[in-house]
Chain A
């Protein structure tokens, strides 16, 4: 269901991302290796020390990541062409950026207010809806969530200054 015109398909190359991911997993493996050595990887009086199992796990990660790096460079794995086109990435970013902001706001503004903002941003910015249509849904959904989660299931969700002011 893509509307790409095939003449304009550019984006970060797949090869680059594959190499990046393999390097990242390699780095992760090294971090786990160091962490395991920190707590001991040999045999102690209680049996294998806590680092024993993770140490070998990290070895697997490092070796397999290296193999993946080699495969990517010899063309065995990975698809040719772009990882995603810039257009696709733009769309993905248009979800990632508001979501990251949402997640950052939750500890400060509480979940309900942040949700109102998130839905509002999505509907007005990405969907082009007027405020008349946006506000009922943006406010309505968190209110329904409040009723369902807080009242019916008795689960407290993070709240911020607005809720305190309202006495909830």
Chain B
């Protein structure tokens, strides 16, 4: 098959000494970032993105995706040891992971978490290897209206499927679109929405928004709870690792089920967090050990971690093949691709084969390297979190500021970072979701371009979005996703209540 050949080319690219070094460095940085509050997947990638400007796009994406892996693994460390979820989708890991740590079984919990993550991610990468080229080939037929339909579907999914109140999601998303529109209008070359401020000429950069909203905002939220991180110590020695590995195959059914849930949900936008919860809930109901969930049951760690990593990885599939990211971190990676001059989407597979398959190959290797690194370095990473907050907080702030500055070498961006930070804190507390804001900021220009091109072709008639079966069905899916809560309610009412 052509794909296998491409994949081996990709491995050849990745297995150069420089790229291997970047992989290891990326993973280590990623784990550290995943362990620290205020940094973490999207923010960490955003801060380190400007460092990669001097590298070739292939090397850069290898390092960045390894940072992403590392952050995924690192989030599990804080969830198990400190009951602090490193990422929203690590919340379900705390349910059983932390009780295990409290019972002195931290090493077992961590090994189970890391290994499950490895398996989930591996499954997802296999899916990407096989499915992404097919999707990309299919998507080559997409015209402007279809492209807009895909964006429409993505954003409607956020509104309909997220747990935040829909109108707040709409506001957050639209704010992102509005911010994306500030500055130079790409299609006409005119300035808009700058109100005469020269600082706004370049518009709002999504990297600054991510660092502020997710980084500074997160630190401020953490501050509310006080300055202490009290956690359990972990001892991962080879004996514990092998013991746990011997035990894990018992949960093969849960694993496979979680992989499928994770992949399926990860491909749809906003999928990683619900995937981990859903997988935990289903495992609890279906497992013979379900009653022990919540008290420190290994299966209660396997289920969410497998699903979350499968989802987090498969979020890269629509990003690569369609140009639509499924998560904020995928959005940042997509932004990075745009900065390097690459067009994510179906053409990427045709025009930039070395890049795409190098990235996919690095996902396999990065996964393996990541597992090895975390299994050996947990005590060091846990020790980092014991650094007292008054010391670590300003260091994180300085890192965020450096990250914000290095995007455009513009001190104003550092100011904007703080503004976004306070905004993120307030919005999060009021239940406004931040992920759609960031996605809209990253995709706003592209979505608008597709919209306007489609309208240009149809001379301003909106019927272009229902003009053929393809775009019509995409738009219909979008509308279903948008009104999903109402549909669910309606169906529940129609179903007769069982007699109790």
Contacts and interface: CB of A to CB of B under 8 A. Distances in A.
Binding partners A and B: yes
Interface string B202-246: 000000000000001001100111111010000000000000000
A61 B175 contact: yes
Nearest to A66: B167
A77 B165 contact: yes
Contacts of A49: 188
A156 interface: yes
B452 interface: yes
Contacts of A99: 216, 397, 418, 421
Contact of B415 (A60, A103, A155): A103
A61 B174 contact: yes
Counting chain B residues whose Cβ lies within 8 A of the other chain, the interface size class is 35 or more
B390 A53 contact: no
Given A21-B430, A50-B190, A77 B168 contact: yes
B233 to A, nearest CB: 17
A50 B192 CA distance: 7
B343 to A, nearest CB: 21
A94 B5 CA distance: 57
Contacts of B406: 149, 155, 157
A18 B173 CA distance: 17
Given A28-B175, A65-B171, A77-B165, A95 B226 contact: no
B15 interface: no
Nearest to B418: A103
A36 B427 contact: no
Contacts of A155: 50-51, 406
A57 B178 contact: yes
Counting chain A residues whose Cβ lies within 8 A of the other chain, the interface size class is 35 or more
Nearest to B460: A43
A96 interface: yes
B439 interface: no
A81 interface: no
B223 A64 contact: no
B250 interface: no
A35 B429 contact: no
A53 B432 contact: no
B103 interface: no
B223 A92 contact: yes
A149 B455 CA distance: 46
Contacts of B178: 28-29, 32, 54, 57-58, 61
B421 to A, nearest CB: 8
A166 interface: no
B332 interface: no
A35 B193 contact: yes
Contact of A157 (B175, B225, B402): B402
A156 B409 contact: yes
Contacts of A156: 409
Nearest to A84: B224
A110 to B, nearest CB: 10
B254 to A, nearest CB: 30
Contacts of A78: 430-431
Interface in A1-55: 1-3, 14, 17-18, 21, 25, 28-29, 32, 35-36, 38-39, 43, 46-54
A106 B411 contact: yes
Interface string B423-451: 00111011110000000000000001001
Interface in B325-380: none
Contacts of B394: 98, 115, 118-119, 121-123
Contacts of A60: 170, 174
Contact of A2 (B181, B220, B226, B432): B226
A74 to B, nearest CB: 13
Contact of A127 (B391, B397, B418): B391
A129 B390 contact: yes
B195 A71 contact: no
B220 A50 contact: no
Given A21-B432, A53-B452, A84-B224, A142 B175 contact: no
B36 to A, nearest CB: 14
Contact of A1 (B191, B226, B432, B455): B226
A52 B192 CA distance: 11
Nearest to B83: A1
B429 A141 contact: no
Nearest to A35: B193
A143 interface: no
A73 interface: no
Contacts of B429: 17, 83-84
B491 interface: no
Contacts of B426: 17, 21
Nearest to A108: B411
A10 to B, nearest CB: 15
Nearest to A119: B394
Indicate the member of B177, B224, B390 with the most A CB atoms within 10 Å. Answer: B390
B437 to A, nearest CB: 11
Contact of B175 (A25, A46, A88, A122): A25
Interface of A: 1-3, 14, 17-18, 21, 25, 28-29, 32, 35-36, 38-39, 43, 46-54, 57-58, 60-61, 64-65, 67-68, 71, 77-78, 83-84, 88, 91-92, 94-96, 98-100, 102-104, 106-107, 111, 115, 118-119, 121-123, 126-129, 137, 141-142, 145, 149, 153-158
Given A17-B430, A127-B227, A158-B411, 15 more contacts: A28-B175, A29-B174, A39-B193, A54-B181, A54-B192, A57-B177, A77-B431, A96-B422, A99-B216, A100-B418, A106-B405, A122-B391, A127-B389, A153-B54, A158-B405
9 contacts: A29-B174, A29-B178, A35-B192, A39-B192, A61-B171, A88-B225, A106-B411, A149-B402, A155-B406
Interface of B: 50-51, 54, 165, 167-168, 170-171, 174-175, 177-178, 181, 185, 187-188, 190-193, 195, 216, 219-220, 223-228, 230, 388-391, 393-395, 397-398, 401-402, 405-406, 409, 411, 414-415, 417-418, 421-422, 425-427, 429-432, 448, 451-452, 455-456, 460
